[in-house]
A and B are shown apart, each in its own frame.
Chain A
Amino acid sequence: MQPKKVLVVDDSKLIHKMFEVMLRSYSLVHAMDGREGLERLHEHLDIDLILLDINMPSMNGFEFLEEVKRSEAFDKVPVIIVSTEGKDQDTVRGLQAGAAAYIKKPFHNEEILQLIERLPPVASD
């Protein structure tokens, strides 16, 4: 089976490294903020999943998510928000904007791995 391609959008290099070690069987694409995330998304049209931070320079996670969900090409790609922002309103905002799940940092690896395994495959039109 072709490994899943995951776009990681986070301004923390440490988190990119964590996901690299954690998701060894996946192909990872990296972006340090929302704007770069959109660029990577247009370069890699076969992205299966997006792991998204909220607090980032240039374009934050919510803005990025809105852009993704507005786009017909990417609106079906599941987005998991992984953020230090732990307030209920942030979680609600993220889920209402179309995120598949909201995970708070610091996270346990198994939380993310189990979530990814349970995600339904992206429907191809």
Chain B
Amino acid sequence: MAKERHRVASDLSVEELVAELQSVIDKAGVLIHEVQGRSSAESSNVEHGVGGVSGDIDQLRSRLAEAETDLQETTDRMVEVEHQRGRLMGLYVATCELHETLDLEEVKRTVGEIAIDLLGADRFALLIRRGESDGYEVAVSRRTEEVADGLFAGPEYTGGDPMVDEALVDGVLRTATEEGSNALAVVPLTIKGTTMGALVILKLLEHKPSLTSEDRDLLDLLAAHAASALFAAQLFVATDRKLRTLEDLVEVVRGG
């Protein structure tokens, strides 16, 4: 058997052996190529899959960012709504308080409380026209004696501050300081076209840097409602006085 094999081998020429070896090498090359092809296809499939997942993650990230933005906007809106609710509540309470009573002193005090607690006024004066005369009573004031010109420190204001004087004449609300005036804002109290007085803001509290747009709403409210509340209270006082006089007269007549 071994002799037979040796004989077969010895019978094959070197060229035939080389050719056979070359054939084996070629087959191996084809196989390697096939294997590489499969591997590449599988790898491509995996890459494609990874690419798809990556796309989903990007989409999710984008949606998360959108959701976060929406949440922030909603939170901001809620804060703003809460803030506006508080602002409207202040205006509502101020209006209710002004019209709650016909007691003149109570109405004056309420105007003062609005100036301090809601506007943050440190120095102010509420001026009310004295009957038919030209003078104005300083009905309520706070720290006006600390103002250099002393125009609002006494019981009566007879003029002298240009911004206040102009507002008392034309009935226009002023919120910008004017040369020669110590006032920060002048709120004319006008009813039926007649200016019956004014709220003069001379200085704000130290922790309140300036009047805001929300304060402007409050000043407008004061201009409209304080005037009517004061007018109603004055009318009530006058009517009550007349009624008492009449009652006294009736008593005298009956007694006589």
Contacts and interface: CB of A to CB of B under 8 A. Distances in A.
Interface of A: 12-15, 17-18, 21-22, 84, 86-87, 104-106, 108-110
B218 to A, nearest CB: 9
A18 B116 contact: no
Interface of B: 79, 82-83, 85-86, 89-90, 92-94, 96-97, 109-110, 113-114, 116-120, 122, 205-208
B93 A14 contact: yes
A22 B208 CA distance: 22
B207 A17 contact: no
A15 B89 CA distance: 12
Interface secondary structure of B, over-half rule: helix
Nearest to A106: B120
Contacts of B82: 109-110
A21 B93 CA distance: 8
Given A14-B114, A15-B113, A109 B89 contact: yes
Nearest to B96: A17
Contacts of B86: 22, 108-110
Nearest to A109: B86
A87 B114 contact: no
21 contacts: A13-B113, A14-B93, A14-B110, A14-B114, A14-B118, A15-B113, A15-B117, A17-B97, A18-B90, A18-B93, A21-B92, A104-B207, A105-B116, A106-B117, A106-B118, A106-B208, A108-B83, A108-B86, A109-B86, A110-B79, A110-B86
Contact of B117 (A12, A22, A110): A12
Contact of B206 (A14, A21, A22, A87): A87
Contacts of B120: 84, 105-106
Contacts of A87: 206
Contacts of A15: 113, 117
B97 A13 contact: yes
B89 A22 contact: yes
A109 B207 CA distance: 17
Nearest to B114: A14
